[in-house]
Chain A
Protein backbone atom coordinates (compact mmCIF):
# COMPACT_ATOMS: atom_id res chain seq x y z
CA UNK A 1 0.00 0.00 0.00
CA UNK A 2 2.80 2.37 0.94
CA UNK A 3 4.47 1.68 -2.40
CA UNK A 4 1.83 3.35 -4.52
CA UNK A 5 2.23 6.49 -2.42
CA UNK A 6 5.98 6.39 -2.97
CA UNK A 7 5.66 5.83 -6.72
CA UNK A 8 3.34 8.84 -6.87
CA UNK A 9 5.86 10.84 -4.89
CA UNK A 10 8.73 10.09 -7.31
CA UNK A 11 6.46 11.05 -10.23
CA UNK A 12 5.56 14.37 -8.61
CA UNK A 13 9.14 15.22 -7.73
CA UNK A 14 10.34 14.67 -11.29
CA UNK A 15 7.37 16.57 -12.70
CA UNK A 16 8.19 19.56 -10.53
CA UNK A 17 11.78 19.55 -11.76
CA UNK A 18 10.49 19.21 -15.31
CA UNK A 19 8.29 22.27 -14.73
CA UNK A 20 11.31 24.24 -13.52
CA UNK A 21 13.19 23.41 -16.69
CA UNK A 22 10.21 24.40 -18.87
CA UNK A 23 9.82 27.69 -17.02
CA UNK A 24 13.54 28.42 -17.41
CA UNK A 25 13.22 27.81 -21.16
CA UNK A 26 10.24 30.16 -21.37
CA UNK A 27 11.94 32.83 -19.25
CA UNK A 28 14.87 32.73 -21.67
CA UNK A 29 12.82 33.02 -24.84
CA UNK A 30 14.62 36.32 -25.67
CA UNK A 31 18.08 35.41 -24.35
CA UNK A 32 20.84 35.69 -26.93
CA UNK A 33 22.30 32.31 -27.92
CA UNK A 34 20.20 30.38 -25.38
CA UNK A 35 19.81 26.64 -25.96
CA UNK A 36 16.66 24.97 -24.76
CA UNK A 37 16.81 22.05 -22.34
CA UNK A 38 14.69 19.01 -21.69
CA UNK A 39 14.91 16.54 -18.83
CA UNK A 40 15.46 12.86 -19.49
CA UNK A 41 13.68 10.28 -17.35
CA UNK A 42 14.22 6.61 -16.74
CA UNK A 43 12.35 3.83 -15.04
CA UNK A 44 13.88 2.70 -11.82
CA UNK A 45 12.90 -0.88 -11.01
CA UNK A 46 12.80 -1.80 -7.37
CA UNK A 47 12.10 -5.39 -6.28
CA UNK A 48 9.45 -5.80 -3.62
CA UNK A 49 8.52 -8.76 -1.51
CA UNK A 50 5.56 -10.72 -2.66
CA UNK A 51 3.44 -13.52 -1.27
CA UNK A 52 3.42 -15.19 -4.68
CA UNK A 53 6.85 -16.70 -4.18
CA UNK A 54 8.99 -14.91 -6.78
CA UNK A 55 9.67 -11.26 -5.92
CA UNK A 56 7.89 -8.75 -8.18
CA UNK A 57 9.13 -5.34 -9.20
CA UNK A 58 7.61 -1.89 -9.10
CA UNK A 59 8.86 1.03 -11.15
CA UNK A 60 9.75 4.44 -9.80
CA UNK A 61 10.59 7.44 -11.99
CA UNK A 62 14.01 9.01 -11.89
CA UNK A 63 15.48 11.89 -13.86
CA UNK A 64 19.02 11.13 -14.90
CA UNK A 65 19.99 14.15 -16.88
CA UNK A 66 19.21 17.25 -18.85
CA UNK A 67 19.45 17.07 -22.61
CA UNK A 68 20.43 20.26 -24.37
CA UNK A 69 19.14 20.97 -27.84
CA UNK A 70 22.12 22.58 -29.58
CA UNK A 71 20.41 23.45 -32.87
CA UNK A 72 20.98 26.97 -34.14
CA UNK A 73 18.59 29.71 -33.16
CA UNK A 74 17.33 32.19 -35.77
CA UNK A 75 19.60 35.14 -36.61
CA UNK A 76 18.50 38.66 -35.73
CA UNK A 77 20.01 41.57 -37.66
CA UNK A 78 21.15 44.30 -35.27
CA UNK A 79 23.48 46.33 -37.53
CA UNK A 80 25.89 46.81 -34.60
CA UNK A 81 29.46 46.29 -35.89
CA UNK A 82 30.51 44.34 -32.80
CA UNK A 83 27.58 41.92 -32.80
CA UNK A 84 28.52 38.53 -34.19
CA UNK A 85 26.44 35.40 -34.54
CA UNK A 86 27.97 31.94 -34.72
CA UNK A 87 26.45 29.91 -37.53
CA UNK A 88 26.97 26.18 -37.26
CA UNK A 89 28.65 24.19 -34.56
CA UNK A 90 31.05 26.31 -32.56
CA UNK A 91 31.71 28.56 -29.58
CA UNK A 92 33.60 31.78 -29.04
CA UNK A 93 36.15 31.77 -26.22
CA UNK A 94 35.98 34.28 -23.36
CA UNK A 95 38.45 34.79 -20.53
CA UNK A 96 36.81 35.15 -17.11
CA UNK A 97 38.55 35.44 -13.74
CA UNK A 98 37.81 31.70 -13.28
CA UNK A 99 39.41 30.65 -16.55
CA UNK A 100 38.31 30.19 -20.14
CA UNK A 101 34.60 29.99 -20.83
CA UNK A 102 32.66 29.36 -24.03
CA UNK A 103 29.74 31.34 -25.40
CA UNK A 104 27.46 31.73 -28.40
CA UNK A 105 26.33 35.18 -27.29
CA UNK A 106 28.20 37.47 -29.68
CA UNK A 107 27.08 40.84 -28.36
CA UNK A 108 30.46 42.47 -27.81
CA UNK A 109 31.75 45.97 -27.16
CA UNK A 110 35.07 47.75 -26.73
CA UNK A 111 36.39 48.60 -23.30
CA UNK A 112 38.37 51.74 -22.42
CA UNK A 113 41.62 50.27 -23.76
CA UNK A 114 40.06 49.13 -27.05
CA UNK A 115 39.82 45.43 -26.14
CA UNK A 116 36.85 43.49 -27.51
CA UNK A 117 34.85 42.38 -24.44
CA UNK A 118 31.48 40.78 -23.65
CA UNK A 119 28.66 42.73 -21.99
CA UNK A 120 30.14 41.59 -18.64
CA UNK A 121 33.56 43.02 -19.60
CA UNK A 122 35.28 39.65 -20.10
CA UNK A 123 37.82 39.77 -22.97
CA UNK A 124 37.03 37.68 -26.06
CA UNK A 125 40.02 35.60 -27.08
CA UNK A 126 41.83 35.07 -30.36
CA UNK A 127 44.47 32.39 -30.93
CA UNK A 128 47.05 34.78 -29.51
CA UNK A 129 45.12 36.25 -26.57
CA UNK A 130 42.92 39.31 -26.36
CA UNK A 131 41.92 41.34 -29.41
CA UNK A 132 42.66 45.05 -29.16
CA UNK A 133 41.37 47.55 -31.68
CA UNK A 134 43.89 50.44 -32.01
CA UNK A 135 42.54 53.83 -30.85
CA UNK A 136 41.05 56.11 -33.46
CA UNK A 137 39.76 53.28 -35.61
CA UNK A 138 36.15 53.77 -36.45
CA UNK A 139 35.26 51.00 -38.81
CA UNK A 140 35.58 47.39 -37.66
CA UNK A 141 35.05 44.48 -40.05
CA UNK A 142 34.62 40.87 -38.92
CA UNK A 143 34.99 38.21 -41.61
CA UNK A 144 33.17 34.87 -41.68
CA UNK A 145 36.28 33.05 -40.42
CA UNK A 146 36.55 35.43 -37.46
CA UNK A 147 39.25 37.79 -38.75
CA UNK A 148 38.83 41.24 -37.23
CA UNK A 149 40.20 44.10 -39.28
CA UNK A 150 40.15 47.89 -39.31
CA UNK A 151 41.33 50.42 -41.88
CA UNK A 152 44.87 49.77 -40.58
CA UNK A 153 44.76 46.04 -41.24
CA UNK A 154 44.08 42.83 -39.35
CA UNK A 155 44.01 43.11 -35.56
CA UNK A 156 43.17 39.52 -34.62
CA UNK A 157 41.04 36.50 -35.29
CA UNK A 158 38.26 35.19 -33.03
CA UNK A 159 38.95 31.69 -31.75
CA UNK A 160 36.13 29.36 -32.74
CA UNK A 161 36.09 26.00 -30.98
CA UNK A 162 33.94 22.91 -30.68
CA UNK A 163 33.49 20.82 -27.56
CA UNK A 164 31.90 17.45 -26.95
CA UNK A 165 28.27 18.25 -26.16
CA UNK A 166 28.05 16.02 -23.12
CA UNK A 167 30.95 17.81 -21.40
CA UNK A 168 29.30 21.25 -21.54
CA UNK A 169 27.88 22.77 -18.43
CA UNK A 170 25.94 26.03 -18.29
CA UNK A 171 27.26 28.67 -15.93
CA UNK A 172 24.69 31.41 -16.42
CA UNK A 173 25.40 34.75 -18.11
CA UNK A 174 25.35 32.85 -21.44
CA UNK A 175 28.63 31.11 -20.60
CA UNK A 176 29.47 27.41 -20.76
CA UNK A 177 32.32 25.55 -19.17
CA UNK A 178 33.70 22.19 -20.14
CA UNK A 179 35.84 19.52 -18.61
CA UNK A 180 37.21 18.55 -22.03
CA UNK A 181 39.83 20.22 -24.19
CA UNK A 182 38.42 22.47 -26.92
CA UNK A 183 39.31 21.74 -30.53
CA UNK A 184 39.21 24.24 -33.43
CA UNK A 185 35.80 24.43 -35.10
CA UNK A 186 35.67 23.50 -38.75
CA UNK A 187 31.96 23.87 -39.44
CA UNK A 188 31.26 27.29 -37.96
CA UNK A 189 31.27 30.75 -39.43
CA UNK A 190 30.61 34.21 -38.05
CA UNK A 191 28.05 36.72 -39.24
CA UNK A 192 28.76 40.36 -38.41
CA UNK A 193 25.91 42.69 -37.42
CA UNK A 194 23.65 39.91 -36.19
CA UNK A 195 23.08 37.88 -33.05
CA UNK A 196 21.71 34.41 -32.56
CA UNK A 197 18.34 34.33 -30.84
CA UNK A 198 17.21 31.72 -28.36
CA UNK A 199 16.16 28.38 -29.93
CA UNK A 200 13.24 27.96 -27.52
CA UNK A 201 10.04 27.08 -29.38
CA UNK A 202 7.23 28.65 -27.32
CA UNK A 203 4.61 26.23 -28.72
CA UNK A 204 6.63 23.18 -27.68
CA UNK A 205 7.23 24.57 -24.20
CA UNK A 206 3.58 25.52 -23.67
CA UNK A 207 2.46 22.04 -24.74
CA UNK A 208 4.97 20.47 -22.38
CA UNK A 209 3.72 22.71 -19.61
CA UNK A 210 0.14 21.51 -20.15
CA UNK A 211 1.35 17.91 -20.20
CA UNK A 212 3.20 18.41 -16.94
CA UNK A 213 0.25 20.00 -15.12
CA UNK A 214 -2.07 17.23 -16.31
CA UNK A 215 0.35 14.49 -15.34
CA UNK A 216 0.75 16.15 -11.97
CA UNK A 217 -3.01 16.23 -11.59
CA UNK A 218 -3.29 12.52 -12.41
CA UNK A 219 -0.65 11.57 -9.91
CA UNK A 220 -2.34 13.74 -7.28
CA UNK A 221 -5.58 11.91 -7.95
CA UNK A 222 -3.83 8.54 -7.65
CA UNK A 223 -2.37 9.64 -4.35
CA UNK A 224 -5.80 10.77 -3.19
CA UNK A 225 -7.35 7.44 -4.21
CA UNK A 226 -4.67 5.50 -2.38
CA UNK A 227 -5.16 7.67 0.64
CA UNK A 228 -8.92 6.99 0.52
CA UNK A 229 -8.29 3.31 0.22
CA UNK A 230 -6.05 3.25 3.28
CA UNK A 231 -8.48 5.31 5.29
CA UNK A 232 -11.44 3.13 4.40
CA UNK A 233 -9.50 -0.01 5.17
CA UNK A 234 -8.57 1.32 8.57
CA UNK A 235 -12.18 2.37 9.25
CA UNK A 236 -13.74 -0.88 8.09
CA UNK A 237 -11.27 -3.11 9.81
CA UNK A 238 -11.52 -1.13 12.99
CA UNK A 239 -15.31 -1.15 13.07
CA UNK A 240 -16.62 -2.98 16.10
CA UNK A 241 -19.91 -4.71 15.49
CA UNK A 242 -22.10 -4.92 18.54
Chain B
Protein backbone atom coordinates (compact mmCIF):
# COMPACT_ATOMS: atom_id res chain seq x y z
CA UNK B 1 0.00 0.00 0.00
CA UNK B 2 1.33 3.37 -1.05
CA UNK B 3 -0.13 5.13 1.98
CA UNK B 4 2.49 3.51 4.24
CA UNK B 5 5.34 5.09 2.29
CA UNK B 6 3.45 8.38 1.96
CA UNK B 7 2.85 8.60 5.71
CA UNK B 8 6.45 7.71 6.50
CA UNK B 9 7.64 10.56 4.24
CA UNK B 10 5.32 12.82 6.24
CA UNK B 11 6.79 11.60 9.53
CA UNK B 12 10.35 12.15 8.30
CA UNK B 13 9.47 15.68 7.20
CA UNK B 14 7.95 16.51 10.57
CA UNK B 15 10.98 15.04 12.32
CA UNK B 16 13.21 17.44 10.41
CA UNK B 17 10.79 20.24 11.24
CA UNK B 18 11.14 19.43 14.96
CA UNK B 19 14.96 19.34 14.56
CA UNK B 20 14.93 22.83 13.07
CA UNK B 21 12.56 24.16 15.75
CA UNK B 22 14.63 22.65 18.57
CA UNK B 23 17.77 24.27 17.18
CA UNK B 24 15.95 27.62 17.15
CA UNK B 25 14.82 27.20 20.75
CA UNK B 26 18.29 26.06 21.83
CA UNK B 27 19.73 29.24 20.32
CA UNK B 28 17.16 31.58 21.81
CA UNK B 29 19.86 33.41 23.79
CA UNK B 30 22.62 33.24 21.17
CA UNK B 31 23.82 36.71 20.19
CA UNK B 32 22.96 37.57 16.59
CA UNK B 33 21.33 34.17 15.90
CA UNK B 34 18.82 34.10 13.05
CA UNK B 35 16.03 31.57 13.23
CA UNK B 36 15.57 28.91 10.55
CA UNK B 37 12.51 27.51 8.84
CA UNK B 38 12.00 24.22 7.04
CA UNK B 39 10.24 24.46 3.71
CA UNK B 40 8.44 21.45 2.19
CA UNK B 41 7.32 20.37 -1.26
CA UNK B 42 5.00 17.65 -2.49
CA UNK B 43 6.62 14.67 -4.21
CA UNK B 44 5.92 13.20 -7.63
CA UNK B 45 2.38 12.41 -8.69
CA UNK B 46 1.31 9.24 -10.38
CA UNK B 47 -1.37 9.76 -12.97
CA UNK B 48 -3.72 6.78 -12.90
CA UNK B 49 -6.27 8.18 -15.28
CA UNK B 50 -5.37 11.03 -17.59
CA UNK B 51 -7.48 14.13 -17.62
CA UNK B 52 -8.63 15.23 -21.03
CA UNK B 53 -9.01 11.67 -22.32
CA UNK B 54 -12.25 11.13 -24.18
CA UNK B 55 -14.74 8.98 -22.35
CA UNK B 56 -17.03 8.38 -25.33
CA UNK B 57 -17.12 8.80 -29.08
CA UNK B 58 -19.14 12.02 -28.56
CA UNK B 59 -15.98 13.93 -27.56
CA UNK B 60 -16.82 14.00 -23.88
CA UNK B 61 -13.65 14.41 -21.87
CA UNK B 62 -12.65 13.19 -18.44
CA UNK B 63 -12.27 16.53 -16.69
CA UNK B 64 -9.96 15.86 -13.78
CA UNK B 65 -8.36 12.46 -13.99
CA UNK B 66 -6.90 10.61 -11.03
CA UNK B 67 -3.58 11.68 -9.63
CA UNK B 68 -2.17 10.11 -6.53
CA UNK B 69 0.71 11.86 -4.82
CA UNK B 70 3.62 10.08 -3.22
CA UNK B 71 4.26 12.18 -0.13
CA UNK B 72 6.36 15.12 0.92
CA UNK B 73 10.02 16.09 0.77
CA UNK B 74 12.10 18.88 2.25
CA UNK B 75 12.82 21.65 -0.24
CA UNK B 76 15.08 23.79 1.91
CA UNK B 77 15.85 24.93 5.40
CA UNK B 78 16.41 28.63 5.24
CA UNK B 79 17.29 31.42 7.59
CA UNK B 80 14.91 34.25 8.37
CA UNK B 81 17.08 37.36 8.59
CA UNK B 82 14.74 39.65 10.55
CA UNK B 83 16.17 42.04 13.13
CA UNK B 84 16.70 40.73 16.66
CA UNK B 85 16.04 42.77 19.79
CA UNK B 86 18.74 45.05 21.24
CA UNK B 87 20.12 44.38 24.67
CA UNK B 88 22.14 47.07 26.46
CA UNK B 89 25.38 45.70 27.93
CA UNK B 90 27.36 48.92 28.57
CA UNK B 91 30.41 47.10 27.27
CA UNK B 92 32.69 49.32 25.13
CA UNK B 93 33.36 46.73 22.47
CA UNK B 94 29.83 45.32 22.21
CA UNK B 95 28.34 46.41 18.92
CA UNK B 96 24.88 45.76 17.50
CA UNK B 97 23.86 46.34 13.89
CA UNK B 98 20.52 48.03 13.48
CA UNK B 99 19.41 47.22 9.95
CA UNK B 100 21.20 45.26 7.25
CA UNK B 101 24.80 44.19 7.16
CA UNK B 102 27.41 41.92 8.71
CA UNK B 103 30.75 42.48 10.39
CA UNK B 104 33.67 41.02 8.48
CA UNK B 105 35.89 38.62 10.40
CA UNK B 106 39.26 37.25 9.30
CA UNK B 107 39.41 33.53 9.99
CA UNK B 108 42.69 31.80 10.88
CA UNK B 109 42.51 30.11 7.45
CA UNK B 110 42.64 33.52 5.76
CA UNK B 111 39.03 33.38 4.63
CA UNK B 112 36.61 36.16 5.41
CA UNK B 113 33.58 35.19 7.47
CA UNK B 114 30.59 37.35 8.31
CA UNK B 115 28.81 37.76 11.62
CA UNK B 116 26.15 39.81 13.34
CA UNK B 117 27.33 38.86 16.81
CA UNK B 118 29.20 42.00 17.83
CA UNK B 119 30.54 40.82 21.18
CA UNK B 120 34.08 41.98 20.52
CA UNK B 121 37.05 42.56 22.81
CA UNK B 122 40.72 43.46 22.60
CA UNK B 123 43.56 40.98 22.27
CA UNK B 124 47.05 41.27 23.78
CA UNK B 125 48.28 43.54 20.99
CA UNK B 126 45.27 45.87 21.25
CA UNK B 127 43.43 44.62 18.15
CA UNK B 128 39.63 44.39 18.09
CA UNK B 129 38.79 40.66 17.91
CA UNK B 130 35.71 38.42 18.19
CA UNK B 131 35.09 36.19 21.22
CA UNK B 132 37.07 33.47 19.39
CA UNK B 133 40.03 35.83 18.94
CA UNK B 134 39.58 36.35 15.18
CA UNK B 135 40.41 39.85 13.90
CA UNK B 136 37.52 42.09 12.94
CA UNK B 137 38.17 43.59 9.50
CA UNK B 138 39.48 46.06 8.40
CA UNK B 139 41.60 45.72 11.55
CA UNK B 140 41.53 48.30 14.30
CA UNK B 141 44.29 48.60 16.86
CA UNK B 142 43.66 50.58 19.99
CA UNK B 143 46.88 52.44 20.95
CA UNK B 144 48.49 52.05 24.37
CA UNK B 145 47.34 54.46 27.02
CA UNK B 146 43.81 54.75 25.70
CA UNK B 147 41.30 55.67 28.37
CA UNK B 148 38.12 55.57 26.39
CA UNK B 149 36.99 54.25 23.02
CA UNK B 150 33.91 55.62 21.29
CA UNK B 151 32.35 54.05 18.22
CA UNK B 152 29.71 56.15 16.49
CA UNK B 153 26.73 55.03 14.44
CA UNK B 154 28.71 55.37 11.20
CA UNK B 155 31.42 53.01 12.45
CA UNK B 156 34.16 55.60 13.12
CA UNK B 157 36.30 54.57 16.07
CA UNK B 158 37.70 57.32 18.32
CA UNK B 159 40.23 56.83 21.10
CA UNK B 160 40.82 59.20 23.96
CA UNK B 161 44.46 58.80 24.91
CA UNK B 162 45.64 59.75 28.40
CA UNK B 163 47.13 63.23 28.46
CA UNK B 164 45.36 64.33 25.28
CA UNK B 165 42.26 66.51 25.30
CA UNK B 166 40.93 65.54 21.88
CA UNK B 167 39.73 62.19 20.54
CA UNK B 168 41.85 60.54 17.84
CA UNK B 169 40.19 58.77 14.93
CA UNK B 170 41.82 55.34 14.91
CA UNK B 171 39.82 53.64 12.18
CA UNK B 172 36.55 52.95 10.48
CA UNK B 173 34.50 49.76 10.85
CA UNK B 174 32.61 48.70 7.77
CA UNK B 175 29.72 46.34 7.04
CA UNK B 176 29.16 43.76 4.32
CA UNK B 177 25.72 43.39 2.73
CA UNK B 178 24.40 40.61 0.50
CA UNK B 179 21.66 40.52 -2.11
CA UNK B 180 20.35 37.26 -0.63
CA UNK B 181 21.30 36.94 3.03
CA UNK B 182 19.32 33.71 3.30
CA UNK B 183 21.87 32.11 0.94
CA UNK B 184 24.81 32.49 3.37
CA UNK B 185 26.49 29.33 4.58
CA UNK B 186 26.36 29.01 8.38
CA UNK B 187 29.63 27.84 9.93
CA UNK B 188 28.59 27.69 13.57
CA UNK B 189 30.09 30.05 16.17
CA UNK B 190 27.79 32.75 14.76
CA UNK B 191 29.84 32.91 11.56
CA UNK B 192 28.64 32.82 7.95
CA UNK B 193 30.49 32.33 4.69
CA UNK B 194 29.68 33.82 1.31
CA UNK B 195 28.20 31.45 -1.33
CA UNK B 196 27.13 31.78 -4.95
CA UNK B 197 23.53 31.92 -3.73
CA UNK B 198 24.17 34.82 -1.37
CA UNK B 199 25.98 36.91 -4.00
CA UNK B 200 29.29 38.63 -3.36
CA UNK B 201 29.72 40.79 -0.29
CA UNK B 202 29.19 44.52 -0.88
CA UNK B 203 31.27 46.43 1.63
CA UNK B 204 30.04 49.85 2.72
CA UNK B 205 30.05 52.27 5.60
CA UNK B 206 27.37 51.86 8.26
CA UNK B 207 24.53 54.30 7.83
CA UNK B 208 24.83 54.63 4.04
CA UNK B 209 21.92 53.43 1.86
CA UNK B 210 21.35 49.71 2.26
CA UNK B 211 23.46 49.40 5.40
CA UNK B 212 22.45 49.45 9.05
CA UNK B 213 23.91 51.67 11.75
CA UNK B 214 26.05 50.59 14.69
CA UNK B 215 25.08 50.83 18.36
CA UNK B 216 27.91 50.81 20.85
CA UNK B 217 27.21 49.07 24.17
CA UNK B 218 24.41 46.94 22.78
CA UNK B 219 24.16 43.37 21.55
CA UNK B 220 21.66 42.02 19.06
CA UNK B 221 19.74 39.12 20.57
CA UNK B 222 18.48 36.22 18.48
CA UNK B 223 15.32 36.81 16.45
CA UNK B 224 13.75 33.61 17.79
CA UNK B 225 10.22 34.22 18.99
CA UNK B 226 9.46 31.70 21.74
CA UNK B 227 5.68 31.75 21.26
CA UNK B 228 6.02 31.18 17.52
CA UNK B 229 8.48 28.31 17.99
CA UNK B 230 6.33 26.57 20.59
CA UNK B 231 3.24 26.81 18.39
CA UNK B 232 5.20 25.42 15.42
CA UNK B 233 6.45 22.66 17.69
CA UNK B 234 2.89 21.73 18.66
CA UNK B 235 1.80 21.77 15.01
CA UNK B 236 4.78 19.62 13.98
CA UNK B 237 4.19 17.14 16.78
CA UNK B 238 0.49 16.80 15.93
CA UNK B 239 1.28 16.38 12.25
CA UNK B 240 3.76 13.65 13.15
CA UNK B 241 1.11 11.94 15.25
CA UNK B 242 -1.47 12.12 12.45
CA UNK B 243 0.94 10.59 9.97
CA UNK B 244 1.62 7.76 12.38
CA UNK B 245 -2.16 7.24 12.66
CA UNK B 246 -2.27 6.86 8.87
CA UNK B 247 0.33 4.09 9.15
CA UNK B 248 -1.76 2.33 11.81
CA UNK B 249 -4.93 2.64 9.73
CA UNK B 250 -3.20 1.33 6.59
CA UNK B 251 -1.79 -1.52 8.62
CA UNK B 252 -5.28 -2.38 9.88
CA UNK B 253 -6.62 -2.37 6.34
CA UNK B 254 -3.90 -4.75 5.24
CA UNK B 255 -4.57 -6.95 8.22
CA UNK B 256 -8.26 -7.14 7.28
CA UNK B 257 -7.28 -8.19 3.78
CA UNK B 258 -4.99 -10.90 5.02
CA UNK B 259 -7.74 -12.18 7.34
CA UNK B 260 -10.00 -12.64 4.31
CA UNK B 261 -8.44 -15.97 3.52
CA UNK B 262 -8.82 -17.52 6.93
CA UNK B 263 -10.08 -20.89 5.81
Residues on A lying within 8 angstroms of B by beta carbon are: 12, 15-17, 19-24, 26-32, 34, 37, 39-40, 63-68, 78-80, 82, 105, 107, 109-112, 114, 119-120, 133, 135-140, 151, 166-167, 169-174, 179, 195, 202, 205-206, 209-210, 212-213, 216-217, 220, 223-224, 227, 231
Taking A27-B9, A80-B182, A172-B45 as contacts, is the C-beta distance between A109 and B197 under 8 angstroms? yes
Interface segment, B59-67, B137-145, B146-154?
B59-67
Q: Are B182 and A40 in contact (CB under 8 A)?
A: no
Within 15-55 of B, Cβ neighbours of A (below 8 Å) are at 17, 37-45, 47-49, 51-52
For the complex, what is the distance from the CA of A67 to the CA of B64, rounded to whole Å?
7
B69 near A24: Cβ-Cβ < 8 Å? yes
Asked if B260 and A227 make an inter-chain contact with CB atoms under 8 angstroms apart, the answer reads yes
Evaluate whether A172 and B69 lie within 8 angstroms (CB atoms) in the complex, with A82-B180, A166-B51 already known: yes
Residues of B within 8 A of A26 (CB): 7, 10, 239, 242-243, 246
> A107 near B39 (CB under 8 angstroms)?
yes
Q: How far is the CA of A23 from the CA of B177 in the complex (A)?
A: 44
Contact-size category for B: 35 or more
Known: A19-B249, A65-B62. 11 other contacts (CB 8 A): A23-B246, A30-B13, A63-B66, A107-B78, A110-B197, A138-B177, A170-B42, A179-B51, A206-B242, A220-B260, A224-B260
> Which residues of chain B have C-beta atoms less than 8 A from A27's C-beta?
6-7, 9-10, 13, 69, 71-72, 243, 246
Interface string of B206-240 (1 = CB under 8 A from A): 00011100000000000000000000000110110
Q: Which residues on the A side are within 8 Å of B49 (C-beta)? A: 64-65
The CA-CA distance from A166 to B40 in the complex, in Å, is: 25
Q: A114: nearest residue on chain B (CB-CB)?
A: B179
Of the candidates B45, B100, B179, the one having the most CB atoms from chain A within 10 angstroms of its own CB is B179
Q: How far is the CA of A80 from the CA of B47 in the complex (A)?
A: 35
**How far is the CB of A62 from the nearest CB of chain B, in Å?**
10
B10 pairs with A23, CB closer than 8 A: yes
With A82-B180, A135-B199, A169-B51 in contact, is A202–B64 under 8 Å at CB? Answer: no
A97 nearest CB across to chain B (Å): 16
Partner of B3, one of A23, A32, A114, A120: A23
Are the C-beta atoms of A64 and B62 separated by less than 8 Å?
yes
Residues A80 and B183 in contact, CB atoms below 8 Å apart: no
User: In the complex, A138 Cα to B41 Cα: how many Å?
Assistant: 28
Alpha-carbon distance between A193 and B210 when the two chains are bound, in angstroms: 18
Complex: how many Å from CA A164 to CA B177? 43
- Considering only residues 147-180 of chain B, those with a C-beta below 8 Å from chain A are 177-180
CB-CB nearest in chain A for B101? A138
B41 / chain A contacts, CB cutoff of 8 Å: 31-32, 105, 119, 172-174
A-B contact pairs, 26 of them (CB 8 A): A16-B253, A17-B66, A23-B246, A24-B69, A26-B7, A27-B13, A28-B72, A64-B62, A66-B64, A66-B65, A66-B68, A68-B64, A79-B80, A82-B180, A107-B78, A111-B197, A119-B41, A135-B179, A135-B200, A138-B179, A169-B45, A169-B65, A170-B69, A172-B44, A217-B256, A220-B259
Name the CB-closest residue of A to B3.
A23
Inter-subunit contact A111/B42 (CB<8 Å):
no
